[in-house]
Amino acid sequence: MSESAASTNPLSRSLTLLINWFDSDFRSEDPAVLRARPDKIEWVRCVPFAILHAGCLGVIWTGWSWFAVGFAIFLYFARMFAVTGFFHRYFSHRTFSTSRAWQFVMAVWGGACVQRGALWWAYTHRHHHAHSDEKEDKHSPRQHGFLWSHIGWITSSKNFPTDYRRIKDLARFPELVFLNRFDTLIPIVFAVAIFFFGLVVGRLFPQLKTGGFQLLVWVFFISTTALFHGTACINSMAHVWGRKRYATGDDSRNSFILSLITLGEGWHNNHHRHMGCVRQGFYWWEIDITYYLLKVLSWTGLIWDLRPVPSDAYDSEKQLPHARRG
């Protein structure tokens, strides 16, 4: 079948999308052709999102327990830290250094967030910074509307392939490419582990009133769905809602509330101005839990060379008049 025929044949496209759930690097056509295609919601790509959200309704049958709710909240923040500290501040921006072994651990931990592989995440994010709120930006509320920037862009097949040429620094590690290619592997292992953990805890401590299915619903479905929307808020809300300190040419903004739910990523205008530093809250009152945790990790020796905030970030002449202090 010719390339153009493959791209217009809905059956072939749907089949490729299905195979991509198991092998995300499988292609029935040239990725360059795919990337050049216009934005379009792919309904087959919506199925995993629909399952993730529908799974939350399982709570009707499993009910709740303090243990399940507490564990879901804990794993929301433990995995949000992986999104912000590892996928974003390490893989996307390389704002600190680490060993190859800990880099692998960070990619596995991030894999449990069910936001695809570290390499795809870093590629799409670097692309966002290169074209922030311009026409090419994959998730700009200014260009494509709020809903598209929040969730629609992920369903478009043009945004599915990882462009390994844009992340050569990461693509030279075969273990990272493997995790990126088979990006459903860790989420499946995570879900199974949560289920059996719930079974064991339910048997050993019946007073906790929990079990395998209850933990699966609360941790895998509810916590992961919340984690997705919390993260997606930075692509949508943080380019719409909040205050600007720097004239960055894009719509990025700073928001205290978004920083609380994303462990510090809400200082998004700061980040767009100085994306190379590990810290996103530039002042003491700009709470940035991810930075505090990375600082603690650096004391253990697992990570090092945390890139500091450049001194001109505090130069009031470089800040917008309403944001200047003193």
Residues that bind Zn ion (CB under 5 A): 252
Three-state secondary structure call for residue 302: coil
Q: How far is the CB of 314 from Zn ion (least distance, A)?
A: 20
Q: How far is the CB of 234 from Zn ion (least distance, A)?
A: 7
To the nearest 10 degrees (0 to 180), the angle between helices 224-235 and 43-55 is 130
Q: How far is the CB of 300 from Zn ion (least distance, A)?
A: 25
- DSSP 8-state symbol, 304: E
Give dist(CA 159, CA 154) in Å, integer: 6
Instruction: Rank residues 222 and 278 by Cβ distance to Zn ion and give the closer one.
Output: 278
Q: Is the dihedral of CA 20, 187, 223, 211 positive or negative?
A: positive
| C-alpha dist (Å) from residue 93 to 121, 211, 283 | 11, 40, 21
∠ at Cα 117 (54, 137), nearest 5°?
A: 85
Instruction: Rank residues 16 and 124 by Cβ distance to Zn ion and give the closer one.
Output: 124
Instruction: Rank residues 45 and 127 by Cβ distance to Zn ion and give the closer one.
Output: 127
Q: How far is the CB of 280 from Zn ion (least distance, A)?
A: 9
In terms of DSSP H, where are the helices of the chain? 3-8, 10-20, 31-35, 43-55, 59-62, 66-81, 100-111, 118-130, 141-144, 146-147, 153-155, 168-171, 174-181, 185-204, 212-215, 224-235, 256-261, 268-273, 289-300
Q: How far is the CB of 267 from Zn ion (least distance, A)?
A: 11
Q: How far is the CB of 92 from Zn ion (least distance, A)?
A: 5
Give dist(CA 303, CA 230) in Å, integer: 26
Given a contact cutoff of 8 angstroms between Cβ atoms, the answer to whether 320 and 244 are in contact is yes
Q: How far is the CB of 294 from Zn ion (least distance, A)?
A: 15
Three-state secondary structure call for residue 203: helix
| C-alpha dist (Å) from residue 87 to 81, 284, 290 | 9, 24, 12
Instruction: Rank residues 156 and 252 by Cβ distance to Zn ion and give the closer one.
Output: 252
In the bound state, the residue with its beta carbon closest to Zn ion is 252
Instruction: Rank residues 191 and 233 by Cβ distance to Zn ion and give the closer one.
Output: 233
Instruction: Rank residues 106 and 222 by Cβ distance to Zn ion and give the closer one.
Output: 106
Q: How far is the CB of 31 from Zn ion (least distance, A)?
A: 23
Instruction: Rank residues 103 and 254 by Cβ distance to Zn ion and give the closer one.
Output: 254
Instruction: Rank residues 24 and 252 by Cβ distance to Zn ion and give the closer one.
Output: 252
